[in-house]
Structure 1
Amino acid sequence: MRPKVSALLVSHDGAPWLPAVLDALQAQTSPPDRVIAVDTGSTDAGPELLADRLGPDAVHHLPADTGFGAAVTQALDRTAALDEAEWVWLLHDDSAPAPDALERLLEAATLEPGVDVLGPKLREWPSLRRLLEVGVTLSGTGRRETGLERGEYDQGQHDQRRQVLAVNTAGMLVRRSVLEQLGFDPHLPVLGADLDFGWRAARAGHRTLTVPEAIVFHVEAAARGRRVTPLTGRRVRRTERRAALHTMLTNCSAAALPFLVLRLLLGSVLRALGLLLLRAPREAFDELAAVAATYARPLRIWKGRRSRARAAVVSARDVRPLLAPPWLPYRHGLDVLTEAGTALARQAGDAATARRARLREDGTALEAAETGPVPAEAQNLPADTGLVARWVTNPVALALAGLLVLALWSARGRLGGGLLSGGALLPAPDSAFDWWATYLSAGHDLGTGSTAPAAPYLLPLAALGTVLLAKAWLVLDVLLLLAVPLAAAGGYRFLLRLTGSRAAALWGAMAYGLLPVLTGAVGQGRVGTVAAALLLPWLAHSALFLGPDETVDRRRRAAWRTTLWLALVSAFAPLAWLMAAVVTVLVLVLGMAGAIGPAAAWRRPATWLPVAVPVLVSPVLLLPWTVATWSHQGFASLLTEAGLSAPSLVDALGWTDIVFARPGGSAPWWLGIGVVLAAVAALVRTDRRRPVLAAWLVLVVALVTTAALSRVEVALASEPVAHPLWLGLPLLVAQAAAVTAAAVAGSGIAVRLSGASFGWRQPLGAAVVVLALLSPLAGVLWWTVSGTEGPLDRRPLQPAPPYMIDAAAQDPSRGVLVVRGSDTGGYTYLLLRDAGLRLGDESVLPPVDEQQPLTEVLGRLATAPEPEDVTELQGYGVGFVYAPAPADPELAGNLDSVSGLTRASAIAPGSRAWQLAEPAANAAPVTFEQSAARPWLLLVQGLALVAVAVLAAPTRRVTR
């Protein structure tokens, strides 16, 4: 005998679908014994449709804020049961069952007597063939899992009955006794109620079965945003995510709860960051709002867990097999990365194809062929030529690979054990996390203590080091030893976009890539100049899209992208910001004067604002340094770069050093003759005058900056005397601008010279071209033969004997005072409490005036020491005094004679060491005066970085 069935239809503004749903109910081969309808405050024709088709007595009217579960409960309360074994068939107003759906569900219920909940196969309506669900479950991250591929069509591949955690309430067939016993969670009014009900049913000992031969077509109007209700609003994602978090936290086991609380919180934050990078701020906000709303109501979670514990008869371990496997979220993450990589590759391929097609339409066939890799058929290669073969036949790839090999060859002697250091470069710390600690800390345990703000370049170094498995030494090795191929790669991308000629871009990339070694920046360990050389092409490439000819969206995104690049360059070399500000002012003045386009267009904010944004906003990305540095270093901090000043390596600049960018004095100046001549000759080419003049504008600003600062001496607060500046950055920019001007003028030069009537221009132009071509080739030859000249080397670190360093690391009151110099030349000292200065520490050294009391004590010890001086030295937390080789004999004699110091093992020949006889009991702890503004500045910086990154990302178009 067939069991009694009551169909219960819940509707809210369902008039578009109700006629089809009611027709489907009437067409059932095994019709329900009665149909009960509940309307929750519909404002359309839905209530009239229900009353006409079912009769007024069969329709219950409830307020609009009534949730699905509450509507079901109230309808059952108002309707007497048909019998004790009655089944309830739940339907939505947008779910139309197939004619035999109920018959198939009842047949399965008869064959499976222990089943209490059954669900059909859901297909998409109106497509009718796409699968939506065949049972559902939850992953460990709270994601609704169907086990289906996106857009998967129904071909019978999921037609096996199986036990599942839950089935959708659209078409759910459930025993009335179970439904009345468990009910639906009132805190899940619309979305997620089915998963919570299924989980609780499983814990209560009830089985849920999916019946694929029963089919229901579902619109999913609420989940897809096609219907807005008072309960979901317009932020469906937030409601759905909040329901998932609530379900996970109220139903998981007690042992898993602490781990799950942390996992869901961190997962939501990471997911929000990912959505921000995809330019989906609304979705990211919904993600964070959902987790905040859930975690803000711990009492609701606690009450929910208590009620579920009272109803449970099955352990959480027994229900675990019905949940998604633990590895599934990681597979989803891998799928996302794969899809993103594929999309980026496809987008890059489409862009390259479009660019080549555009250039073929605008230029000659020869120039069009230079714009990208030559097709396989043009190389007499089969159409299915593999990636390796195409790479081998690509001159750009071969050139960059050759530079990589030469970089490793030229770094001979600097590969192996030890850390890169010397010149202006301090060794890398033990871990990239040390950079994080230095950057985020308000005080630094160096010398007598320092509150100086960490240099902004530590943030990108720390981030890059974290990506490289926290290996800080690897960051410096990559930046310095592979500077040439990395700079050349960036230069090629910029010049290819600017010139449209692969040959000109390749020449320019070779000439530009050599600048880090030709300027002496690599040899002297000038990490600021080297990093700027790697970043400048990307900054310039982004700035190309700021012109008024671009679309509004592209200019807006380019403005924020340029802001990021300018902030990065300025973090390593703050002088870049000053030069960018000058260039920006000149561009705006020329634009509004009508020299570079219509003046009326430049006076509109939509035109000039994207140009000004990078200079105005980039200092915000460098907080808190941009604010705090004025009270510590003043204007001088804008003129120095990352690393030590190394004034002994800075020589007076001659005219050849300025013109050919040789501040380091290592490479011969005549290697740059070809580039300089080509840049001057570029002014003659009238058809490329605008980009050439733009390059010359930057070149002139760089040369004027060099001339203005070449006689300037600065003294940082942590340095006792003033010294001349290292001007590697402005000279690098000047030479880069010269390369750009030459590359722009050189694109298509062969066709232009051959097409003109013969005269003096042909031989002169040919000579300039030959010299320009020979210039980077000569530079490569010099670099290959001489290697990387300069004080930069790889050496083991031993600022003091290891036992002293270990003692100071364990007890900061036993610091090591390292003293160098002599009585005639003067003494310098450094108070160590760990393994010595590392890169980044030079920016947070304590000021000279704060160290003055310790300086005076050391002066007395070196000339006429008294026991009181040793006692005072203890007060600064000094446990050892060390004089590296060659130790000054007069200093050694004075320290040997004073009581309170005993000779200690110095280990290295020619060095001397002493230990304070008594423990430093009177050592004053190093204390720091915390800045109340610093945490807020860091917060502003973090928010600004996220906001600018989101605004710079490609526009995300969402389609449903």
Structure 2
Amino acid sequence: MTTTVTALLVSHEGARWLPAVLDGLSDQTRAPDRVVAVDTGSTDESPRLLRTRLGDGAVHSTDAGSSYGAAVAHGLTQLTQLTESAGPAGPDDWVWLLHDDSAPAPDALEQLLAVVESTPSADVLGPKLREWPSLRRLLEIGVTISGTGRRETGLERGEYDQGQHDRLRDVLAVNTAGMLVRRSVLEALGFDEQLPLFGNDVDFGWRAARAGHRTVAVPDAVVFHVEAAHRGVRQHQLKPSGYRRGERSAALYTLLVNGSAWALPFMLVRLFLGSLVRAAGLLLVRAPGEAVDELAGLVATYLRPWRVLAGRRRRRRSSTVPQRQVRPLLAPPWMPYRHGLDFLSDITSAVVLQAGDLSVARRTRRARGSGTAETGPVSEDAQNLPEDTGLLARLVTSPVAWVFAVLVVGAALAARGLVGAGSLSGGALLPAPASALDWWHLHLSSWHDLGTGSGAPAAPYVLPLAVVGTLLLAKAWLLVDVLFLLAVPLAALGAYRFLVRVTSSLPMSLWGAVAYGVLPVVSGSVQQGRLGTVVGTLVLPWLAHAALFLAPRYAPDRRRRAAWRTALWLALLTAFVPTAWLLALVVGVVALALALRGRSAQGLASGIASPLVGTLVLLLPWSVATWAHQGPASWLFEAGLPAPRLTEGLTRWGALLGRPGSDGAPAWMTLGVVLAAVVALARRDTRPAVLRAWVVIVAALGLVAVLSGGTYSTANAPTDQPLWLGFPLVVAQAAAVTAAALAGTGIRRRLAGASFGWRQPVGVVVVALAALTPVVSAVWWVWSGTSGPLERGRATTVPTYMTDAAAADPDNGILVVRGSRVAGFSYVLMRQPGTRVGDDSVMPSVVDQGPLTGYVEGLVTAPEPADVAGLTGLGVAYVYAPAPADVTLVGNLDSVSGVSPGSATSPGARAWQVEAPPTGADLVRDPDPLRPWLLALQGLAIVVVAVLAAPTRKARR
């Protein structure tokens, strides 16, 4: 029989491309037997062009809102009327689908029909698509879909056609732009009306494969395609944003209606979570419109489940082939992960290239600043080196990489005493919880089963710990280990990023990075387990870097983004060290006053106010509720236990040299930096910048002077105690390092150019002392190690059978009583395997624990059965006295009725079990009804501020 081909051309507002498409049709070496054109309500010249070239009888119209499938169905109806006398369509009747923006090469149809003759089993054929107007870039040679709904072509982005893919192969689907399909197959399957514009080809190919039809990609046939709908350049009822929304909705619908029934629940969860992740990523790159489209496509699909169910019923009627036979045509399961790795690779390459550009720019600035050009012979081999010599070569030749590699090795050596099994704890640090999910529960709960119960809001640092801990596969212990054991290199990294911006000097930036990086250990913060100071030291340089762009010399858009970025960093810093907000307030007021004096405060006021006010919103509900639960003094205690026995009185020299305690390095080790910061005031050309650093020094030391003279308490720790002021001293030291680095930039050239006098020897001595300071401190750090009160061991000594019972039911509480009659007793009521990081911030107040305190006093003096009965009402099942257990307490509990001895695994410890089942009847669980609303407001604020802080991105077209 003779093969008959009908070209079916669908047009909508395509006048700019139609002349080339119609020319391509007329130039075919094997012309189609007939042409049917369907215009969907175009308002441009498309109908006139079609009628002029094809004749009135070949052109038909539908409504402007008609979908692509409806337009094809209308064209088939007209074709049936034209060929009614010839009878129904036979196996040799073919339909060649074309778009108004797809121009076929002259031999495109001939090449497709050649494969029809050589491969009789093929029912659907598709050409190679190239980009129009470039004509060389590949778009598609067959297409499939991944498990996340991504359209997969198997081509690299921007790949040129060099014949590398020219082989016949079976595919899931081919694009409708140039698709050659048996007319009987097209009439039997049709296009799904639920896909008005996007996804028709993949859905049709999937259904054709399930119906037993074969789809083949023919690379010798070429069609040039504009992809006007995908690029959003076609005038249509759908707005440009609707294009992206429509694509995503079509992808989700296609997967849900064509996927296997057993995998449907998994797909629903995977696509839902994947869409949320994609939307979050788009928000972080300042593409809120695309994020909204992503979520809108998800909502449009999930809120109309009847469409999915109806689509699956229709496909069951036409399916004759099991899903497993179609599975090889789908994208491999690992394909989405490969795209993720490619994305990370692209980011890494961009960062490496940017670092190289910055290095060249710094060398250029140094050369210009010295009035010289970088000259010198360049070998022929060096001239012939490729421009991108690879990441390894860059690292090997980079002094920055070597410095940080040495710091990481030093961190590994210094942590030698903290390697082993168990959790880091001791001093002010509690053990990490079993999972980061425990932090999420602590942050989101309105009521905490700790002690007698507490409705206090969790400390704000719990949320960032939960987020980062989740990224570390929910391993909370790993996050704590990284923060303390890698504190020095992490702090140095942030300091280098800040100093290289303000000094443009590589040597001074590296010197300052090391001098700042050792501060967590030379101050004793790491050794004492001071979580707040350690994290604050890591965050401070990033906050300072963001605040640099608040200066009036930057463009308004950059200043606005910098203000919100500063708000995020300040909120993170304040979450761990609340006094940082007070310090920022003082520095901001002083900076604004100085700017007003110099008449350069335009836009600075809002840039300072936004972070200060934004921080209070970002730290909800703690920033509001802590006043009622813990009192104003809660703003003075940083993350971690207060540990008053480790907090020593602060001396004047200790304050000036940054030594809040005795667990750090000798005070004289930082003398060189302090001396350099003082001498830096003598250099006139850098004095304005140095004075700004001194404003921070004075503000930090002033805050230390105010707070060091008193004692403070909170509702859950009513005993007055001194404050740990490690972080304000770190701020003062950081500002001193900055002042010294600013004045040290180009100091050798300046000393060499001046006439000889007293300045040269004094300058040499100061420079030598300053240069040796970080080196000596680093050597001391590696030699002494980071152990001290901080140690690694068991999270708790309480017997496992008790903690297991408490974990299964919070009413099986464990009353742990420590101390002696001589030294005094203390107690804690545990309802889980020990108190963990963050739990200390939500412990009940002394007033709330008043009844329990009375029962404990009775147990250690003259216990009565009523005391034991009171314990059952408060949900106490066990009493445990760690070694060495007080003799009087042991005798009291052994003699009182209602308590029986239990098993204590540690020598010298004693355990008892309350005989009556604990009821918890006297516990009052009264959660705050406003807490969920404040948490929702906090979450919304974080998302909004993150979007406002992210770099501006142009909308994708």
TM-score range, shorter chain: over 0.9
1:786-833 per-position Cα deviation (integer Å, ceiling 9, x unaligned): 444642222334432333333333443332211122334432111122
CA spacing shift, 1:46–1:634, aligned 2, 3 Å: same
> 1:700 Cα deviation (Å)?
0.8
Amino acid at match of 2:141: V
CA spacing shift, 1:784–1:4, aligned 2, 3 Å: closer
Residues 18-29 of structure 1 mapped to structure 2, 5 A cutoff: 18-29=18-29
> 1:602 Cα deviation (Å)?
1.9
Which among 839, 858, 861 is matched to residue 860 of structure 1? 858
> 1:159 Cα deviation (Å)?
2.9
Tell me the distance in 2 between the aligned counterparts of 1:103 and 1:661.
83
CA spacing shift, 1:903–1:681, aligned 2, 3 Å: same
> 1:850 Cα deviation (Å)?
0.3
> 1:391 Cα deviation (Å)?
5.2
Residue of structure 2 equivalent to 1:421: 425
Residues 321-470 of structure 1 mapped to structure 2, 5 A cutoff: 321-363=328-370, 394-470=398-474
Tell me the distance in 2 between the aligned counterparts of 1:401 and 1:331.
29
Residue of structure 2 equivalent to 1:636: 633
**Is 1:662 equivalent to 2:659 in the alignment?**
yes
CA spacing shift, 1:551–1:76, aligned 2, 3 Å: same
Residue of structure 1 equivalent to 2:32: 32
1:504-556 per-position Cα deviation (integer Å, ceiling 9, x unaligned): 22332232222212222122111111111122122212222221222334333
Q: Is the 8 A contact 2:417 2:786 kept in 1?
A: no
Q: With structure 1 as the length reference, what TM-score do the two structures score? A: 0.93
Residue of structure 2 equivalent to 1:312: 319
1:688-714 per-position Cα deviation (integer Å, ceiling 9, x unaligned): 012101101111110110111112222
Runs of 5+ consecutive residues of structure 1 not aligned to the other structure: none
Tell me the distance in 2 between the aligned counterparts of 1:59 and 1:391.
65
> 1:849 Cα deviation (Å)?
0.4
CA RMSD in angstroms comes to 2.7
Query: Could you say what secondary structure the match of 1:722 adopts?
Result: strand
Q: Is the 8 A contact 1:232 1:239 kept in 2?
A: no
Residues 204-283 of structure 1 mapped to structure 2, 5 A cutoff: 204-231=211-238, 233-283=240-290
Tell me the distance in 1 between the aligned counterparts of 2:891 and 2:359.
73
1:624-683 per-position Cα deviation (integer Å, ceiling 9, x unaligned): 222222221122111011110111222222211111111113333222322222111111
> 1:781 Cα deviation (Å)?
4.3
Residue of structure 2 equivalent to 1:107: 114
Amino acid at match of 1:189: P
Tell me the distance in 1 between the aligned counterparts of 2:618 and 2:296.
26
CA spacing shift, 1:378–1:933, aligned 2, 3 Å: farther
Amino acid at match of 2:938: Q
Residue of structure 2 equivalent to 1:938: 935
Q: With structure 2 as the length reference, what TM-score do the two structures score? A: 0.94
Q: Is the 8 A contact 2:483 2:534 kept in 1?
A: yes
Amino acid at match of 2:662: G
Query: Could you say what secondary structure the match of 2:220 adopts?
Result: strand
Q: Is the 8 A contact 1:445 1:926 kept in 2?
A: no
> 1:394 Cα deviation (Å)?
4.9
Query: Could you say what secondary structure the match of 1:37 adopts?
Result: strand
Q: Is the 8 A contact 1:717 1:847 kept in 2?
A: yes
Runs of 5+ consecutive residues of structure 2 not aligned to the other structure: none
Q: Which moved more, 1:733-742 or 1:786-795?
A: 786-795
CA spacing shift, 1:497–1:911, aligned 2, 3 Å: same
Amino acid at match of 1:910: G
Residue of structure 2 equivalent to 1:118: 125
1:369-418 per-position Cα deviation (integer Å, ceiling 9, x unaligned): 9xxxx999799999699977875665544443333333333334322233
**Is 1:579 equivalent to 2:583 in the alignment?**
yes
Residue of structure 2 equivalent to 1:881: 879
Residues 508-547 of structure 1 mapped to structure 2, 5 A cutoff: 508-547=512-551
CA spacing shift, 1:246–1:690, aligned 2, 3 Å: same
Query: Could you say what secondary structure the match of 2:645 adopts?
Result: helix
Amino acid at match of 2:65: D
Query: Could you say what secondary structure the match of 1:653 adopts?
Result: coil
CA spacing shift, 1:608–1:355, aligned 2, 3 Å: farther
Residue of structure 2 equivalent to 1:693: 691
CA spacing shift, 1:569–1:900, aligned 2, 3 Å: same
**Is 1:491 equivalent to 2:495 in the alignment?**
yes
**Is 1:57 equivalent to 2:64 in the alignment?**
no
Tell me the distance in 2 between the aligned counterparts of 1:663 and 1:884.
31
> 1:186 Cα deviation (Å)?
1.4
Tell me the distance in 2 between the aligned counterparts of 1:269 and 1:846.
37
> 1:217 Cα deviation (Å)?
1.8
Tell me the distance in 1 between the aligned counterparts of 2:381 and 2:872.
77
CA spacing shift, 1:56–1:592, aligned 2, 3 Å: same
Tell me the distance in 2 between the aligned counterparts of 1:629 and 1:747.
45
Q: Which moved more, 1:215-224 or 1:639-648?
A: 215-224
> 1:256 Cα deviation (Å)?
2.0
Residues 640-719 of structure 1 mapped to structure 2, 5 A cutoff: 640-666=637-663, 667-719=665-717
Query: Could you say what secondary structure the match of 1:188 adopts?
Result: coil
**Is 1:190 equivalent to 2:197 in the alignment?**
yes
> 1:959 Cα deviation (Å)?
6.8
Q: Is the 8 A contact 1:419 1:427 kept in 2?
A: yes
> 1:341 Cα deviation (Å)?
1.7
CA spacing shift, 1:760–1:196, aligned 2, 3 Å: same
CA spacing shift, 1:576–1:461, aligned 2, 3 Å: same
Query: Could you say what secondary structure the match of 1:427 adopts?
Result: coil
1:455-502 per-position Cα deviation (integer Å, ceiling 9, x unaligned): 121222223333333332232222223322322232223222211222
Tell me the distance in 1 between the aligned counterparts of 2:895 and 2:324.
76
Q: Which moved more, 1:863-872 or 1:377-386?
A: 377-386
Residue of structure 2 equivalent to 1:174: 181
Query: Could you say what secondary structure the match of 2:228 adopts?
Result: coil
Residue of structure 1 equivalent to 2:105: 98
Query: Could you say what secondary structure the match of 1:721 adopts?
Result: strand
Residue of structure 2 equivalent to 1:826: 824
> 1:292 Cα deviation (Å)?
0.9
Q: Which moved more, 1:301-310 or 1:755-764?
A: 755-764
> 1:165 Cα deviation (Å)?
2.1
Q: Percent identity?
A: 61
Amino acid at match of 1:160: R
Amino acid at match of 1:452: A
Query: Could you say what secondary structure the match of 1:223 adopts?
Result: helix
Tell me the distance in 2 between the aligned counterparts of 1:327 and 1:376.
47
Residues 560-639 of structure 1 mapped to structure 2, 5 A cutoff: 560-594=564-598, 599=599, 601-603=600-602, 605=603, 607-639=604-636
Residue of structure 2 equivalent to 1:762: 760
Amino acid at match of 1:16: R
Q: Is the 8 A contact 1:137 1:144 kept in 2?
A: yes
Residue of structure 2 equivalent to 1:849: 847
CA spacing shift, 1:723–1:364, aligned 2, 3 Å: farther
Residues 477-488 of structure 1 mapped to structure 2, 5 A cutoff: 477-488=481-492
Amino acid at match of 1:218: H
Residue of structure 2 equivalent to 1:73: 73
